[in-house]
Amino acid sequence: MRKLSYIVVQSAKRVYEDIVPVAILSVAGAVLLVPLVFFAPIGISLFVLPFVFVPLCAGALYASHRTGKSGRLKVRELFAGAWKHLLPSIVLALVYSIFILIIVSTWWYYGGKSGTLHLALAIFQTYFVAMVFVSQIYALPLIVQEGIGAFAAIGRSVKLFLRHPGYTIGAFVQLISLTVLLGITVIGFGCLFLGMYGIYANLVTANVLAGPEEEDGEDGSRSKAEPEARPGERFDAVSAVGR
């Protein structure tokens, strides 16, 4: 398995090489979010947004994954992928929404109470939910790459997190950092996030699924050939984006 620093560099390289199609794909997805974010009442927006945004992320993963096989990024594959994986994406969106609701309700309930015990309970529940989100970084890419159901992807993502906790936490922190940087401006987020996420999450997941391998150095070069079906094959197929 290649180091996370190598994956970050490869993701940045792919985004840079495919900056125009990445921007077009991101804008195409962001156009669907504009009515919800700017025109819908805030209550409806917060309720509906996850059920639109998560399928769009699945579409971005699908478009990026297809690009790794065909060498051509087609924006229509964003919507094809969103439709193809609509049901499991909605299930994931529902799960994410429930856990976000847990955090909000926890601080709403315990935040108004005094005492160390209430604060400790709020912090513990927030930490627990945060770990749930970290453990699910692979769920949506697994649905797209493996074609499995939502609950199977959730379970497998947890297993991958337990097998590679340091790598998973690092990958999640990198994703959050990039999201915050892009979120500084609405234009930057709308023009780059979906394309960036599709490339980065696919590479991160393909790398962790590739299996263990020895490396010669920081460049991630392999010193041993793996048995069976070349575990790096999946990563090489996904990382072909932009070639």
Overall average pLDDT of the 22-26 stretch: 90
> Residue 212's pLDDT is what?
59
Banded pLDDT at 118 (limits 50, 70, 90)? confident
C-alpha distances (whole Å) from 133 to each of 83, 128, 157, 165 are 24, 9, 10, 13
Banded pLDDT at 216 (limits 50, 70, 90)? very low
| AA identity, residue 23 | A
Condensed to tens digits (0 to 9), the pLDDT of residues 123-177 reads: 888 999 999 999 999 999 999 999 999 999 999 999 999 999 999 999 999 999 9
Overall average pLDDT of the 24-52 stretch: 88
Contacts of 184 (CB under 8 A, 6+ apart): none
Query: In 3-state terms, what secondary structure has residue 117?
Result: helix
Whether the per-residue pLDDT at 229 is higher than 50: the answer is: no
Q: Which two tokens stand for residue 96?
A: 């994410």
| AA identity, residue 101 | L
> Residue 215's pLDDT is what?
44
Overall average pLDDT of the 78-99 stretch: 94
Report residue 218: phi and psi, to 5°: -65, -20
> Residue 73's pLDDT is what?
65
CA 215 vs. chain centroid, Å, equals 26
**Helix pair angle (86-110, 139-146), 10° resolution:** 170
Whether the per-residue pLDDT at 86 is higher than 50: the answer is: yes
Report the percentage of the chain scoring pLDDT > 70.
84
CA 148 vs. chain centroid, Å, equals 16
Report the percentage of the chain scoring pLDDT > 90.
47
Overall average pLDDT of the 96-101 stretch: 92
Average pLDDT value for the chain: 83
Banded pLDDT at 230 (limits 50, 70, 90)? very low
- Judge whether 136 and 151 are in contact, CB under 8 Å: no
Interior angle at CA 203, CA 239 and CA 37, nearest 5: 115
Instruction: Give the whole-angstrom CA distance, residue 95 versus residue 105.
Output: 15
Condensed to tens digits (0 to 9), the pLDDT of residues 167-204 reads: 999 999 999 998 888 888 878 888 899 999 999 999 99
Cα dihedral across residues 96, 27, 45, 148: positive or negative: negative
- Judge whether 241 and 199 are in contact, CB under 8 Å: yes
